[in-house]
Amino acid sequence: MTLVSSPLQEAQAISLTGQIIEQIESTDGHEVRVTVIQGGRSKNGYAYDDAALHTIASLLDGAQAYADHARSDVDQVNRSVRDVVGFYHDVHYVPSSASQSVSVGRVDASLHIFEAADWLWSLIKEACALGRPELIGLSVDILGQWQVNEQTQSRDVTSVLQVNSCDIVTRPSAGGAFRRILHADTQTAPRAVLDDHPATFVTHTSSTQGGSPLMSDTIMTEQLTASTLPPTTSPLEGARLLEQQQQLEQQRLEMERLLEDARLQKAALTLERRLQESIIPDALKSQLRQRFQGRVFEERELEAELNSSQQLLAQLTRDGVIRGHGHEKATVGQMVTEAEKVQAAFDAMFDLTIDTARLGNIRGFVSIHEAYARVTGDAVLHAGISHSSHLGPIHVAESAPIGRISEADTTTASFSYLLGTSMNKRLLKDYQAWPAEWQKFVTIAPIRDFKQQSRVRLGAFGSLSVVAEDMPYSAVTLTDSAATYVPQKRGNLVTISRETILNDDLQAIRQIPTKLAVAAAYTLAEFVYSFLSTNPLIYDSSNLFTSGAPHTNLGTGALSTTAMQSGITAMREQTNYAGKRLGLRPRYLVVPPELEWTSMVVTKSAGVPGSPNNDINPMLGYVTPIISPQLSSPSQWFLVGDPREVDTIEVGFVGGQVNPSLFIQDQPVVGLNFTQDVISYKIRHEYGGAVVDYRGLYRGI
């Protein structure tokens, strides 16, 4: 655009840079310009070249847009009309420029949002107005072929057969992004006037790296050209020109400051976006935030730091410094990510409770094969059962498979981890539901390591001595003893084979966490009750139960009110180190299943059982029966004190981890995954224990 300039304007070259934001709302419809897909390798491991992008561009025109992807091939065929939010038109392939860091182009299109999807349009407008268009994005759902590239460890898309849709998601993985809101009625060019000077508009689009959204700017430049002032310039005109030059210099400095602020704001937005997308712990995020905030940086510098942090966490996990596993995704506000929905579908498959208030009605996967195909896009297990975005070396198949390629960010957590997370939740739920009445009469303690644990038992003082007038106090000493134990590690490996997934044996997989939970709970119960049934040697090198000295806590009668009274009297007569009676009373009656009904009779009958005189039963409600199937003898019965009143048995858990833990080994180049095509799940439970004081325990027979 060229305008006539005055001689004064031609006096000297003047350059001014400013920023104009183009955003014109429409009354007849909602149009937004978008990038459908960016070439190169996506976060899901698929690689798109220019040929694949050209094919996608040719097939996309008129394609539908849905809110979120379909979860399975069945859902893809039967998409609901209520989920349709718009369609695509004006599709173009945009080649890469010399200034961009990527070597392949992208596919751009105009997305028309239906008026019925005003909720989505409001979300798009607000995200763009806040400068946060990356909060939502676009994900293509196509039918195509690929082959595994051993050198780049990616899946190269070799052909695109069909574009199912391009859907709006929260975590795009192939660079699908919103660019700018368009004028829906007429496409008029923006205009600007600055002090009646000629203006030239140049549209500039910044490049994208790693699928980050593209920010569209309109840059206005003004330039006046002249070599020298005319010789007839008067002093007044010279003064005016000097003043104008000073004003323009001030404006230039102000614009430089504004541009620097814009760069800082853009860097800050990039930093927060990438930290929110990252799965590293909050502590590392805080360190990176302190390192990068307040300065302009290149995005590749931040990416290098994030990758370094993830590699460090992976190494710490392999070394056992960090225990446990899980799939975490940062969320923005109350937005639900695609990964959260997939994890919820796994949870529902194991009959776990779903937060429907936040996630909505999530349908659980009806088969393990459906779950695997949904996460990996590999319906035939072509790439092995640990298929994820961080693949190890995998051999290329003889023929490329045809399958659904979904570019929402759900496969960054591998199938094995999503399955393992739900299995772990199911295991803990079943473990905590298993009866553990032994916890009523033992002390649970956290311990730090596998070293020998010592519990010192101090002696006791006798009666205080009488101190005569002007006489010194006499000194007394305390004796002590120690109960010791060494914690142990218990666990097993459970494998899920490739054949199990191909055979779609969901019932077998669903039973694994329940059976592991039962095994862990039963093993721990056996450990605790074995202290009662095996009569072990304890801290004083004597058996726990002795009929006479040193413990006097072993009776000879079968379970009855009379025998229980004898046991209670024996506990009452227990003494401390100074020979003083403690007056202890039992709180629980522990019996095997064979004595369950006898225990109910002797503790709940109003009269003495079997007495012809209708005497009152003094044992009515005196103790609480506990039935233990882990007790091996059908005749032994036990009286146990309240651990809050007297020490009995201590069970210590390493790291305070009372529940068992489930771990996963799914690396494709090591272990059973490599040699036998199986995913290995390891259950681990670490604890130990010992009798701390015999005086709170009594055994009959």
Tell me the domain boundaries of the chain. 18-222, 229-278+280-315, 423-454+483-701
Cα–chain-centroid distance for residue 563?
Answer: 56
Q: What pTM was estimated for this model as a whole?
A: 0.53
The total number of residues shown for the chain amounts to: 701
Q: Check residues 26 and 689 and name the one with the higher pLDDT.
A: 689
Q: What is the predicted pLDDT for the residue at 13?
A: 43
| Mean pLDDT of the chain, nearest integer | 77
Highest mean pLDDT among 169-173, 238-242, 368-372, 551-555: 551-555
Q: What is the predicted pLDDT for the residue at 408?
A: 58
- What are the residue ranges of helices labelled H in 319-473? 338-349, 356-359, 368-376, 415-433
Q: Is the pLDDT of residue 21 over 50?
A: no
Q: Check residues 19 and 173 and name the one with the higher pLDDT.
A: 173
Task: Specify burial of residue 247 (Cβ count, 10 A radius: 0-12, 13-18, 19+).
Answer: exposed
DSSP string, 342-384: HHHHHHHHTT----HHHH-SPPPPSSHHHHHHHHHS-TT-TT-
User: What average pLDDT does this structure show over 564-590?
Assistant: 94
Q: What is the predicted pLDDT for the residue at 676?
A: 61
Q: What is the predicted pLDDT for the residue at 160?
A: 87
User: What average pLDDT does this structure show over 585-591?
Assistant: 97
Q: What is the predicted pLDDT for the residue at 217?
A: 36
Give the DSSP H/E element, type plus range, for residue 446. Answer: strand 442-447
Q: From residue 689, give the alpha-carbon distance in Å to each of 517, 594, 637, 682.
A: 20, 27, 21, 23
Right CATH for 423-454+483-701 from 3.40.50, 3.90.1690, 2.120.10, 3.10.100: 3.90.1690
List the single range of 238-247, 604-613, 626-635, 682-691 with lowest mean pLDDT.
238-247
List the single range of 22-31, 95-104, 392-401, 566-575 with lowest mean pLDDT.
392-401
Q: Is 691 helix (H, G, I), strand (E, B) or coil?
A: strand
Q: What is the predicted pLDDT for the residue at 460?
A: 64
User: What average pLDDT does this structure show over 605-634?
Assistant: 91
Give the pLDDT band (50/70/90) at residue 100.
Answer: low
**Non-local CB neighbours of 236 within 8 Å, separated by 6+ positions:** none
Q: What is the predicted pLDDT for the residue at 191?
A: 35
Cα–chain-centroid distance for residue 150?
Answer: 30
Q: What is the pLDDT of residues 212-260, one digit of tens each?
A: 333 333 333 333 333 344 555 567 777 777 787 888 888 778 777 877 8
Which tokens in the block code for residue 11?
């006096």
Percent of all residues in the chain with a pLDDT value above 70, rounded to a whole number: 73
Q: Is the pLDDT of residue 153 over 80?
A: no
User: What average pLDDT does this structure show over 103-114?
Assistant: 90
Q: What is the predicted pLDDT for the residue at 391?
A: 34
Q: How far apart are CA 149 and CA 139, in angstroms?
A: 23
Q: What is the pLDDT of residues 415-426, one digit of tens each?
A: 777 888 888 888
Q: What is the pLDDT of residues 155-166, one digit of tens each?
A: 888 888 888 889
Highest mean pLDDT among 89-98, 508-517, 641-650: 641-650
Are 632 and 625 in contact by the 8 Å Cβ rule? The answer is no
Q: What is the predicted pLDDT for the residue at 396?
A: 34
Handedness of CA 150, 329, 277, 408 (dihedral sign): positive
User: Largest Cα–Cα distance in the chain?
Assistant: 140
Q: What is the predicted pLDDT for the residue at 183?
A: 53
Closest CA to 45 of 476, 442, 407: 407
Q: What is the predicted pLDDT for the residue at 519?
A: 93
List the single range of 395-409, 460-474, 492-506 with lowest mean pLDDT.
395-409
